[in-house]
Amino acid sequence: MNLKSLFVLICSMAFSSLTSVAQSIPEGSKPAVSNVRGAVYPRIFTDYRASFQIKSSKAKKVQLQFLSDPKPYDMTQAADSSWNVTTPPLVPGFHYYSIIIDGFSVNDPGSETYFGANKQMSGLEIPENNVDYYLINNVPHGSVQEHWYLSKITGHWRRSFVYTPPGYTAGAGKRYPVLYLQHGSGEDERGWTKQGHANFILDNRIAKGEAVPMIVVMDCGYAAVEGSTMPTDRLKGIKEFENVLINDIIPDIDASYNTMQDRAHRAMAGLSMGGGQTLYITLNHLDLFSQIGIFSGGGLKGFNYKTDYNGVFTHVASFNEKVKLLFFSAGTAEKPYHDATKEIHTQLDQAGIRNVFFESPQTDHEWLNWRRALNDFLPRLFK
């Protein structure tokens, strides 16, 4: 071993001080699919319990904290100085989490990172038993491409991820409808494929003939010229993205892909913040969109169909004629979103506005909610 190799080795050791190690591995569990390659922890049991292990000799207190749960789990130190906890059964799906070491929130080095809460976070995937609609299956796969474009509005290079369905051929005669699909607050254009598995959901629905082959554009919902992340004025943030979507993204996608370019074949959907953006932007541009999906994102303030959105919902006949699909969803465990969405749905029903309300059993304001919502939404699109 030469000096350089020795140095690299020492370096690797220094950098792996938090790495999970295999010690008295709980029986009946296996590494989470959300782990990095080779990480032994976190581990998932078939009954949805999860075990975590952090190697840390100097810490005085180590906790596990899920983003969706205000109460952290205390981890206990074993004789080998590793810190361990096994949770009770958790809701299946995808959970952002952190490890809190002596008061500091850090990533678990055993976990892949997922962009949420405006930073790269650890994530835990608990696969739903006997459910495979969001998993990669042995069916034809569409392609997910990084698509870069120079925004005329912001002056910055921006990136979207574009799903093209199996059999898509650039420049060929066949054209496809387009769904613009937006992430939530604190996330970005990577969320729908990485956390949401949108590409696999599409592959699976299309393979069964249950969804129309379509192009799906997943862009970043933050579009401030100065690059700021969280406009304090919510409406300002929506309008910034509206400007970029209408004037940059849609023209660029129509120029770059084999798209159908009429409103009948253009849809928009989004989750949480992206749902709010979707409702505002589509209702403001019914000349461009005919199909609308709002996943946990109708807003939490009191809804009034008579006055909200410039009273568009009072023009019942023309609205129902123009909007071919108005889809709302919420999880039963995200009570404020669920109740607010149900209120919108109920008022619109009473007003005679045709709309759908999909309820996801027992899911909170998390990605399993939105996988289910997308999976229910897709077969209704472009029909």
Q: Contacts with a copy of itself in 32-51 (CB under 8 A)? A: 36-39
Q: Is 74 exposed, middle or buried (0-12, 13-18, 19+ CB in 10 A)?
A: exposed
Pick one of 11, 78, 225, 235: the residue that binds a copy of itself (CB under 8 A): 11
186 binds a copy of itself (CB under 8 A): yes
- Position 275, amino acid: G
71 binds a copy of itself (CB under 8 A): no
Q: Toward a copy of itself, which CB reaches closer, 9 or 264?
A: 9
- Which residues contact residue 236 at a Cβ distance below 8 angstroms, ignoring those fewer than 6 apart? none
Q: What is the largest CA-CA distance in the chain?
A: 79
Cβ burial, residue 111 (10 Å; 0-12/13-18/19+)? buried
State which H helix or E strand residue 341 sits in.
Answer: helix 335-351
Q: Does position 362 bind a copy of itself by CB under 8 A?
A: no
The answer to whether 7 contacts a copy of itself (rule: CB under 8 A) is yes
Shortest reach from residue 155's CB to a copy of itself, in Å: 12
User: Could you give the 3-state DSSP secondary structure of residue 335?
Assistant: helix
Binding-site size for a copy of itself (CB under 8 A) equals 77
Helical segments of 265-326, H only: 273-284, 316-322
The CA distance from 170 to 128, in Å, is 36
Which one, 320 or 332, has the nearer CB to a copy of itself?
332
The least distance separating a copy of itself from the CB of residue 154, rounded to whole angstroms, comes to 13
Instruction: Compose the 152-181 pattern: x for residues touching a copy of itself by CB under 8 A, - for all others.
Output: -----x----------xxxxx---------
- Of 57 and 318, the one with the shorter C-beta distance to a copy of itself is 57
Contact assessment for residue 215 and residue 178, using Cβ atoms and an 8 Å cutoff: yes
From the CB of 314, what's the least distance to a copy of itself, in Å? Answer: 27
Nearest to 224 by CA among 151, 293, 275: 151
Q: How far is the CB of 353 from a copy of itself (least distance, A)?
A: 25
142: Cβ contacts below 8 Å, ≥ 6 apart: 163, 164, 165, 166, 168, 199, 202, 203, 206
| Distance in Å, CB of 219 to a copy of itself, minimum | 13
**Nearest distance, CB of residue 311 and a copy of itself, angstroms:** 26
Which range, of 4-12, 87-95, 273-281, 342-350, touches a copy of itself by CB under 8 A?
Answer: 4-12
Query: Which member of 24, 46, 81, 145 binds a copy of itself (CB under 8 A)?
Result: 145
Interacting positions 297-356 with a copy of itself (CB under 8 A): 300, 334-337
Tokens (6 digits) for 88 = 């009770």
Q: Which is nearer to a copy of itself, 105 or 320 (CB)?
A: 105
Task: Give the angle subtended at the CA of 332 by the CAs of 99 and 282, to the nearest 5°.
Answer: 95
User: Is the dihedral angle over the CA atoms 374, 376, 379, 383 positive or is it negative?
Assistant: negative
| Residue of the chain from 230, 235, 255, 264 that contacts a copy of itself (CB under 8 A) | 230
Footprint on residues 84-113 left by a copy of itself (CB under 8 A): 98, 101-107, 109-113
Which helix (DSSP H) or strand (DSSP E) does residue 182 occupy?
A: strand 178-182
Looking only at residues 233 through 292 of this chain, which bind a copy of itself when binding is defined by CB under 8 A? Answer: none
Interacting stretch for a copy of itself, rule CB under 8 A, among 220-228, 237-245, 261-269, 355-363?
Answer: 220-228
Q: Is 39 or 50 the residue whose CB approaches a copy of itself more closely?
A: 39
Which of 24, 78, 175, 227 is close enough to bind a copy of itself by CB under 8 A? 227
Identify which of 149, 212, 161 has the alpha carbon closest to the alpha carbon of residue 188.
161
Run of H or E including 150: strand 143-150
| Element spanning 302, H or E | none
CB of 307 to a copy of itself, least distance (A): 21
